[in-house]
Structure 1
Amino acid sequence: MAFSKFYFSAFLAFVIWGFFSLALKPLYAYASLDILFYRVFFCAVIMAFISLVVRRQVLRESLRTFRQMPLAQRRRTVVLTLAGGLLLTANWYFFIYVMNHISVKVASFAYLVCPILTTVTAYFVLSERLSFWQWTAVGISVASCLILSFNNWADIAYSLIVALSYAFYLVSQRKNVGIDKFLVLTIQIVFSALILLPFFSKYSGTIPSEPFFYEMILLIAVLFTIIPLFLNLYALQGVNSSTMGIMLYVNPLMNFLIALFYFHESINSLQLLGYALILLSIVVFNERHLFRRRSIAG
C-alpha cells in the first residue's frame, strides 16, 4: 500500500508537468529569464509563508532533527539541499528557453533523454539494481531516442542540458533524507531565488503590467512547480531513482500529444515510431507492477 502511494505520487507529478506547455506557451512574448525570475520569486514567497507560518511546528521539529544529526550527515544534507536548488534553477531556465524559443518537441525530447540518464546515473552512483526487463526497457528507450534525434542533432545539445540538470537533481535528492520534504523544497526554492535576485535588476525586462502575466505565473508557481516538485520528493521516499527516471516518460508523451493535437506541430512517421517505443519501454520497465509478478533480478 505504501509503495502504491509513492508510485501514484510520482505518476501524478509527471502527469501535471505534461500539461505545463499549456500554461507556458501563452507567455511566449516574455523573455525566458523574466518568466524564470517571477516563477521562482512567487514560489519562494508562497513556500516561505507556508513553512514559517502554517507549518511552524514541522519547522521546529525539522530543526531539532537537523541539530541531532552527526556532523557529517548535517554537512551532506546542506550540500545536497543547496545543490538541488542550483540544479532546479538551471533546469527551469533551460526548459523555459527551449519550450518558448526552440519548440515544444525539443523540450519534450529533453525529457526523453532524462529517464535514461537518471536510470544509468542511479545505477552507478546509488548502486540501484535493475532487472533484466528494466535493462531491456532502457535499451528500448535508447533506440527510441536515436530514432527521434534522426536529422535533429542540433537539438540534442539543448535537450542534454535540460535532461542532465534534472537527472542529477533526482539522483541527488534520493540521498537527501532525514528532513521534512516540503521544508527541503522550500529551502531549495528560496536558495534559487537568492541566486537569481542579484541578476534581476540587470537582466530583467520592463516590469509586466498585464494582470494575465501574473495570473499565469501564479498558476505555474503553484500547479506546475510547488505541487509536482513536492510529489516528486515525497515519491523518492518509496520509489527508487531508476523507476522515477522511467516514470518521467509520462511527461514527454503528454507533451507529444499536446504538440500534435493542440499546437498542431508537424509529426513524421519516425517520430510516431519513437514515441510508440517509449510507451513500450514504460510498460516493460514496470512489468512487475503492471502484471503482478516477480522479475528476475539482473
Structure 2
Amino acid sequence: MADDGARPGASDPTAGPPRSGLVAALGAYVLWGTFPAFWPLLEPAGSVEILAHRIAWTLVGMLVLLTLIRGWSQLRGQSWRTWVTITGASALITVNWGVYIWGVTHGRVVESALGYYINPLVSVVLAVVVLGERLRRTQWVAVGIATAAVAVLWAGTGALPWVALVLACSFGFYGLLKKRVPLAPVAGLTAEGFLLGPIAIGYLVWLQAIGTGTFGHGSAQTLLLISAGPVTAIPLLLFAVGARRLPLATLGLLQYVNPTLQFVWGVLVDHEPMPPARWVGFVLVWIALAVFAVEGWAASRRRPAVAQPTRATV
C-alpha cells in the first residue's frame, strides 16, 4: 500500500500550494529512514505477524481518513481491470513489506538499504523492458555500474544480495502497476487495504486462537502493534503531499535520504559487518546513482519543470 501518483481531485487532501512540499517530502523520507529502529521494537512478534498488523491497522486508519474526506465515491465505478491491477499491486507491496520487515529484524539493514538505493535503476530498466522506453547513454552507464556492484557484492561476500534485489524489483513492478490505477493516494491505499486486510485480519485471529499471537501481551506490545498502522500511513500521506507540490527532479534527489539513513543505522548502530567487497559494492552503487542523478538533473534543465509524483519507497 503506497502512493498512487494519481490525479489530485476535489477529495484529495494532498493537492495544494507548493510551499510546504519540500518539508512534507523530506519528512516522509526521514521517517522511512528510521524504520530500522521501529520494526524490531515489535518483537517478540514474528515478521509475518508484524506484517499482518501493519496491513490491518493501516486499513483501519485509511477507512477513517477516507470517511473524513468523503472520498468513498472514488472507489465506486472502477472497472474490473482496475481491481485486477490493484490486486497485483497489493501482492507486490505485501512481498516488499514482508521482506523488508524480515530484513531489518534479522540483521540485514544494510542490504535492505541497498535495495532502495538500486530501486530507481531497476525502475528505469523495467521501463525499457516492459514499456518500451529508451534510455539515454548516460543512464545505461549508470545501470551498468549498478550491475557491476551487485556482481561484486555477490562474488566478494559469497551470497547473492537477494533481500536488496527482491525489495528493488518488487517495488519496481509495483510502481509500473500503480501508474495504471486512476485513484488518489488515500483512496488507492484504502483499496489495497480492502484486498489485503481480510487476509491479514484472518491470520491474526488464527494466531490468537492458537495462542501464538503477541497482541494483548502487555499494553506496550499491544500499542506498538497498533502503531504499525499510523507509522505506515503518515509518511505515505506526507509523501503524497510532497509529490504533488515538488518537481520530479527534486523528489528524485530526496529519495536517497531514506536508504542513506538506513545504511548509517545498519553500520553505526547495528554494527553490521562491512568487509572490503561490500564497501566496494556500495561505492559502485553510489557512483551509479551520482551518474543517474546528474543526468536526470541535466535532462530536467533541458525541458520545462513539471510537478509529477514519484513512488513511495517503503
TM-score, normalised with respect to structure 1: 0.77
- Counterpart secondary structure, 1:108: helix
Q: For 2:271 and 2:117, how far apart are their aligned partners in 1?
A: 20
Find 2:197's aligned residue among 185, 189, 193: 193
- Counterpart secondary structure, 2:176: helix
Alignment of 1:270-281 (within 5 A): 270-281=277-288
Aligned to 1:145: 150
Aligned to 2:58: 43
Task: Give the gaps of 5 or more residues in structure 2.
Answer: 1-16, 304-314
Q: Give 1 or 2: higher helix fraction.
A: 1
Q: For 1:133 and 1:243, how far apart are their aligned partners in 2?
A: 19
Report the AA paired with residue 274 of structure 1.
G
Query: 1:249-274 CA deviation, whole Å, 9 max, x = no partner?
Result: 54333221111112222223332333
Aligned to 1:221: 229
1:188 Cα deviation after fit: 0.5
Query: 1:195-243 CA deviation, whole Å, 9 max, x = no partner?
Result: 22333333462333233324433444223x2133345667499988x99
Find 1:55's aligned residue among 69, 90, 93: 69
Question: Is it true that 1:134 corresponds to 2:139 in the alignment?
Answer: yes
Q: For 1:189 and 1:18, how far apart are their aligned partners in 2?
A: 23
1:162 Cα deviation after fit: 3.2
1:164 Cα deviation after fit: 2.6
Q: For 1:210 and 1:228, how far apart are their aligned partners in 2?
A: 27
Q: For 1:244 and 1:47, how far apart are their aligned partners in 2?
A: 24
Task: Give the gaps of 5 or more residues in structure 1.
Answer: none
- Counterpart secondary structure, 1:86: helix
Report the AA paired with residue 114 of structure 2.
F
The farther-off stretch of 30-39 and 162-171 is 162-171
Q: For 1:117 and 1:220, how far apart are their aligned partners in 2?
A: 28
Coordinate RMSD, CA, aligned: 3.6
Find 2:188's aligned residue among 172, 179, 184: 184
Query: 1:42-72 CA deviation, whole Å, 9 max, x = no partner?
Result: 11111111112x011x323x25xx53x7xxx
CA contact (8 A) 1:106 1:155 kept: no
Query: 1:12-45 CA deviation, whole Å, 9 max, x = no partner?
Result: 5444322110111233432112211211111111
1:172 Cα deviation after fit: 0.9
Find 1:261's aligned residue among 259, 268, 272: 268
Report how many residues are paired.
282
Alignment of 1:27-106 (within 5 A): 27-52=42-67, 54-56=68-70, 58-60=71-73, 62-63=74-75, 67=77, 74-106=79-111
Q: For 1:145 and 1:11, how far apart are their aligned partners in 2?
A: 28
Call closer, same or farther: CA 1:193–1:109 in 2, change over 3 Å: same
